[in-house]
Amino acid sequence: MSSDFYKALEISGIGIAGVFIFMTLFFFVIIGLDKAFPNEKKPKKAPQTADENSGDE
Amino acid sequence: MGVEQLFPAIAGMTWQNLVMIIVGFTLIFLAIKKQYEPTLLLPMGFGAILVNIPFTAALTQIDPATGAVVEGALDVFFSAGIATEVFPLLIFVAIGAMIDFSPLFQRPSLLLFGAAAQFGIFVTMVLATIFGFSLKEAASIGIIGAADGPTSIIVSTILAPNLLGPISVAAYSYMALVPIIQPPVVKLLTSKHERKMRMHTDANKKVSRTVLVLFPILVTVLAGLIAPSSLALIGFLMFGNLIRECGVLNGLSKTAQNELANLVTILLGITIASTMTGERFVTVDTLKILGLGIFAFVFDTAGGVLFAKAMNLFLPDEKKINPMIGACGISAFPMSARVIHGMGLKEDPHNYLLMPAISANVGGQIGSVIVGGLILLLVPLFA
């Protein structure tokens, strides 16, 4: 086997580990953002809809 | 006066040129008749014909009378747009403006399939070195498995510009063939019971605008701090996404998604064709690259499916993942998600896998760009 083969193996090991590390980091970014800025529209929407409905009536 | 003087193009035609003109017709046929990635394959097909007519003015030629160099338009485009990476990066802005990351927030763990389904890239890179390619060439061939045209173009432009033509053709052709390549691999690796598995996702979950604005910025900063070489790729993708999500640049967002994407795609396709000349393209290496490209797609799909099966060993019953979703970790968006959703419906007409499939597929778009950046970082260190 050529030296490139062994280098490619080494790069593959680091590369696969690297992409998993990145994606895990992004996973925590998503979790963190979701916790820090939860969607606030849901609870607000319900009373607004009720008001609008009563106004229409 | 002989034929050579009267009709130099006819006299100068080689069998390699003829083969490439047939390849050009085939790409145009696939684009129009089969609608396989027509936006890229049609310009590439036409370009292949254009550059294989001997003495074509589309390429730089030496005037036989004066000996002066006459620059061809396609070579000018290549120097300005491909060699500088400008065209593929502009495509990333357009793609970023098209991506909606909110499905990732419904089940963030599916993001990991965007990593698992890059497995084929690395396996193919190792295999390519056995086939005699240099490390840089092998890495560029492996990246075909990213199922991400612009990433393939950028990596091969930097690491192996001599292989740009066949790598681009393989990347875009196989992306179009995802509905043909993925189902048999998925079926081979999953049981009927597994393919029928249903998944619970909160499809009604809304994501706040603040989150969607902050996500591309944070991802760019994180990626840049860890692997600065990935910044051009991930940065332009996320810039496009920020334009989309900020809510105050709707005009720019629409322009990026439509006019910019269309204009750059036209230029990108026909410019790549400038590398598809007979003497450069009709080689045994091209056949090897086309074969290795399929191999990369197959192993990407297998990597995603097998990772899902491994994850299921540790997940509680209500959170188990349909292993087919793993196949969506490739970047071919939304084609891969649609294919897997269709396969799920075939097994069980009430099994709707589209949302988790889209989530994994969006993860694949991020994953492919990250792998591109990692390869650009790692390969020069080892080569």
**Residue B141: its pLDDT value, please?**
96
- Counting residues of chain B whose pLDDT is more than 90, the rounded percentage is 60
Which of A5, A33, A38 is the closest to B126 by Cβ?
A5
Contact B214 A33 (CB under 8 A): yes
Mutate to test the interface with B, among A7, A14, A41, A45 (most CBs of B within 10 A): A7
Strand partners, B69: B62
- Counting residues of chain B whose pLDDT is more than 70, the rounded percentage is 99
Contact A14 B378 (CB under 8 A): yes
Contact A27 B367 (CB under 8 A): no
Mutate to test the interface with B, among A1, A4, A24 (most CBs of B within 10 A): A4
Q: What is the full DSSP assignment across chain A?
A: --HHHHHHHHHHHHHHHHHHHHHHHHHHHHHHHHHHS---HHHHHHHHHHHHHHHH-
The model's pLDDT over B325-359, given as tens digits with 9 standing for 90+, comes to 999 999 888 888 989 999 999 998 988 888 899 98
What is the pLDDT averaged over residues B112-140?
95
Mutate to test the interface with A, among B112, B140, B205 (most CBs of A within 10 A): B112
Show the tokens assigned to B184: 């048999």
**Residue B93: its pLDDT value, please?**
95
Strand partners, B322: none
Q: What is the ipTM of this complex?
A: 0.87
**Residue A6: its pLDDT value, please?**
95
**Residue A55: its pLDDT value, please?**
40
Which of A4, A5, A29 is the closest to B219 by Cβ?
A29
Secondary structure letter of residue B62 according to DSSP: E
**Residue of chain B whose alpha carbon sits nearest to that of A16:** B119
B363 contacts in A (CB within 8 Å)?
Answer: 23
**Residue A41: its pLDDT value, please?**
59
Which residues of chain A fall short of a pLDDT of 50?
44-46, 48-57
Alpha carbon of B141 to those of B35, B162, B368: distances in Å? 25, 12, 14
- pLDDT category at B154 given cuts 50, 70, 90 is very high
How far is the alpha carbon of B311 from chain A, nearest alpha carbon, in Å?
14
Contact A4 B134 (CB under 8 A): yes
Nearest to B111 by CA among B367, B291, B338: B367
pTM over the 0.90 mark: no
Average pLDDT, chain B: 90
What is the pLDDT averaged over residues B51-79?
88
Contact B130 A11 (CB under 8 A): no
How far is the alpha carbon of B102 from chain A, nearest alpha carbon, in Å?
10
Nearest to B146 by CA among B374, B381, B378: B374
The model's pLDDT over B318-332, given as tens digits with 9 standing for 90+, comes to 889 999 999 999 988
**Residue of chain A whose alpha carbon sits nearest to that of B128:** A5
| Number of A–B residue contacts, CB under 8 Å | 121
Asked if residue B162 has pLDDT above 80, the reply is yes
**Residue A57: its pLDDT value, please?**
33
Which of A11, A33, A42 is the closest to B379 by Cβ?
A11
Classify each residue of B311-339 as buried b or exposed e, where b means 16 or more C-beta atoms within 10 Å of its C-beta.
bbeeeeeeebbbbbbbbbbbbbbbbbbbb
Asked if residue B119 has pLDDT above 80, the reply is yes
The model's pLDDT over B247-276, given as tens digits with 9 standing for 90+, comes to 899 999 999 999 999 999 999 889 988 888
Asked if residue B305 has pLDDT above 60, the reply is yes
Nearest to B260 by CA among B25, B97, B58: B97
B121 contacts in A (CB within 8 Å)?
Answer: 15
How far is the alpha carbon of B357 from chain A, nearest alpha carbon, in Å?
17
Asked if residue B203 has pLDDT above 80, the reply is no
How far is the alpha carbon of B105 from chain A, nearest alpha carbon, in Å?
7
CA B213 to chain centre: 25
A1 contacts in B (CB within 8 Å)?
Answer: 130
